[in-house]
Amino acid sequence: MARIATLPGATRSTLWRVLGLATAIAFMSTQAWGQDASKVYDLADLSTMPKLASMSQATKLIQGSYPPLLKSSGVGGTVQMEMVVDKDGKVEPGSIETASSVPALAEAAKKVAEKLEFYPGKVKDTPVRTRVVLPVVYKP
């Protein structure tokens, strides 16, 4: 698409005819702000940080995901999760990475991450894909 914008005489009406209205508008808005729709932004690049949509929902999901055998045995720990939150605030499937010394807790936290919802990160008031690191703490 970038080549179309650099062609001489590429006007809005030309883009609308070639790409269709919706695609042209999306293309122009990403070009206007200098954003690449496939880029994943780090927190340092954002003007607005992503935020959990509901802390109470996240807490309930975490509590409900605690493996009963580990909880009753007094095994707890912190799982560091890294994921990509899309511009709609959803965690992208397949983007979740976990680190924990207890593999069962890491797997439980991964299932929680799949259900989390965020207010997305923004660059210049435009929602963007964002890399988020989130610790999940399991206390027996």
Q: What residue ranges of the chain are covered by domains with CATH 3.30.2420?
A: 43-138
Q: How many CB atoms within 10 Å of residue 49?
A: 13
**Quick one: pLDDT at residue 34?**
55
CA distance 125 to 10: 27
One of 2.60.40, 3.90.220, 3.30.2420, 1.10.287 is the CATH number of 43-138, namely 3.30.2420
**Full-model pTM:** 0.71
Whether the per-residue pLDDT at 36 is higher than 90: the answer is no
Whether the per-residue pLDDT at 106 is higher than 60: the answer is yes
Higher pLDDT, 61 or 6: 61
Q: How many CB atoms within 10 Å of residue 100?
A: 19
**Quick one: pLDDT at residue 37?**
78
Q: How many CB atoms within 10 Å of residue 30?
A: 17
